[in-house]
Amino acid sequence: MESNLKINIIGGGIIGCIQAIELNKLGHQVTIYEKDTIGSGSSIYGAGILFPLLPNYYSSEVFDLIDNSKKYYLELSDILNSQFDIDIEYLRSGMTVILDDLRDIEFWLRENKLSFSREKFRSFNAITIDDVYQINPKKLILGLKKYLDYLGVQILEYNLISTDLKNNFIDINGKKIPGDKFILASGAWTRDLDHDMRDKIFPVRGQLIEYKNTNHIQLDHILYKDGFYLLQRKNGALIAGSTLENVGFDDNLTDQDLELLKKNAEKIIPELSELEVINHWCGFRPGSKDNIPIIVQDKKIKEKFYNVGHYRYGISMAPASVNKLISLF
Ligand SMILES: Cc1cc2nc3c(=O)[nH]c(=O)nc-3n(C[C@H](O)[C@H](O)[C@H](O)COP(=O)(O)OP(=O)(O)OC[C@H]3O[C@@H](n4cnc5c(N)ncnc54)[C@H](O)[C@@H]3O)c2cc1C
């Protein structure tokens, strides 16, 4: 593979950041162009569960990308801790799935040789999957930013990229960007930058809330029930979510939205109703068909690549997706 190429990455979410780190390690000269700030698309708004919520619902392609990313986070967590004193809260929390009928998920777990135990959660039918990890996305982005600076990757924030009629990439100052390769890691906004992606990538709004944990509720595992989940950060904060909404890029959150999230969280742990909700936010996932990301080289413009459409599991799939893209060079 050639080295010392000038590679431009458009989008500084989790995909763009890890892509930049891995290309820098291969000896390339990498620049990230970000229209806002690093991580401010979908990536800092995620819950940080590194596993599919109902794994048997997805194709093996999705699970393989998640599974092949696991080791990377362990190593990254060590690097960010030891070199930059940032704890990304990489925890083996396990996940308890509450379901009336557990047969399909049990079958899938056996097929994939993943260990689990069948145990009731309170009065609910449930299984706990052991090998499920979580991280804190805000801290992850903070750590990645430091790591990128340390490696000397150029980060150009507040730099909205567009294209001209000849398909050149143009920066915020109207200048044509020089480079050997261009990687679109532009999340849900890819459809604005690239007409070919108009029908393939779409924003899916997701909302989360944070409860102030004054009652010191302790979760043993991530909890999942009826499409909603609860998890705990290292400082005890309880995070509940999430919604799946096709509302474009509308970021207005209403009292009804809040009530929906609270109702579903409190169906799992009723005592949460005694706690105050201190944060309520949303992010725009890069939706794609069947949650399968598009990691390809453009058919017509050979220097253009896509690493987009990671939908619900972009944090979980990022490292393996980045490697898959590099294998196309
Ligand atoms: C509520 C919620 C919960 C989630 N929970 C999880 C979870 O538990 N586990 C998990 O794995 N995933 C989770 N996700 C999904 C995950 O956040 C996304 O899949 C992932 O962040 C996508 O990363 P990305 O880098 O592709 O996109 P983004 O993070 O959106 O990054 C794309 C970046 O490109 C920039 N950009 C776009 N267009 C341009 C342009 N023209 N010029 C310059 N810059 C541009 C944007 O500003 C943005 O910063 C969750 C998402 C939400 C919203």
CA 172 / ligand 1 centre spacing (Å)? 21
Ligand 1 atom having least distance to the Cα of 33: 43
Domain limits at 296? 1-92+134-201+288-329
Q: What is the pLDDT at residue 3?
A: 81
CA 141 / ligand 1 centre spacing (Å)? 11
* 83 assigned to some structural domain: yes
**What are the pLDDT digits (tens) for 292-305?**
999 999 999 999 99
Q: What is the pLDDT at residue 294?
A: 98
Q: What are phi and psi of 141, to 5 degrees?
A: -65, -40
Q: What are phi and psi of 196, to 5 degrees?
A: -65, -20
CA 308 / ligand 1 centre spacing (Å)? 9
Beta bridge partners, 97, equal 127, 224
Position 33 confidence tier, pLDDT thresholds 50, 70, 90: very high
* 29 assigned to some structural domain: yes
Query: Hey, whose CA ends up nearest to atom 21 of ligand 1?
Result: 43
* 294 assigned to some structural domain: yes
Query: Hey, whose CA ends up nearest to atom 35 of ligand 1?
Result: 11
* 255 assigned to some structural domain: no
**What are the pLDDT digits (tens) for 217-263?**
999 999 999 999 999 999 999 999 999 999 999 999 999 999 999 99
Residue 64 CA: distances (Å) to CA of 143, 316, 320: 25, 10, 8
Q: What is the pLDDT at residue 142?
A: 98
Please tell me whether the overall predicted TM-score, pTM, comes out greater than 0.95 for this model. yes
- Quote the mean pLDDT of the chain: 97
CA 115 / ligand 1 centre spacing (Å)? 30
Q: How many CB atoms lie within 10 A of CB 17?
A: 29
Residue 41 CA: distances (Å) to CA of 67, 281, 291: 24, 13, 18
Ligand 1 atom having least distance to the Cα of 17: 25
* 320 assigned to some structural domain: yes
Task: Report the share of the chain in percent with pLDDT over 70.
Answer: 100
Tokens 């706990």 belong to which residue? 128
Query: Hey, whose CA ends up nearest to atom 1 of ligand 1?
Result: 206
**CATH code for position 44:** 3.50.50.60
* 298 assigned to some structural domain: yes
**What are the pLDDT digits (tens) for 93-131?**
999 999 999 999 999 999 999 999 998 999 999 999 999
Task: Report the share of the chain in percent with pLDDT over 90.
Answer: 98
The pair of structure tokens assigned to 318 is: 């990022």
Q: Which residues line ligand 1 (CB under 6 A)?
A: 10-16, 33-36, 40-43, 45-49, 160-161, 185-189, 193, 206, 208, 241-242, 283, 285-286, 308, 310-316
Ligand 1 atom having least distance to the Cα of 162: 41
CA 188 / ligand 1 centre spacing (Å)? 7
CA 313 / ligand 1 centre spacing (Å)? 10
Q: Averaged over 43-51, what is the pLDDT?
A: 98
**What are the pLDDT digits (tens) for 201-221?**
999 999 999 999 988 999 999
Q: What is the pLDDT at residue 212?
A: 94
Position 329 confidence tier, pLDDT thresholds 50, 70, 90: very high
**Taking each helix axis from N to C terminus, what angle separates 70-84 and 137-151, rounded to the nearest 10 degrees?**
70
* 8 assigned to some structural domain: yes
| Total domains in the fold of the chain | 1
SS3 of 302, please? coil
**What are the pLDDT digits (tens) for 75-89?**
999 999 999 999 999
* 220 assigned to some structural domain: no
**What are the pLDDT digits (tens) for 260-278?**
999 999 999 999 999 999 9
Q: What is the pLDDT at residue 86?
A: 98
Which of 71, 10, 42 is closest to 320 using CA atoms?
Answer: 71
CA 209 / ligand 1 centre spacing (Å)? 18
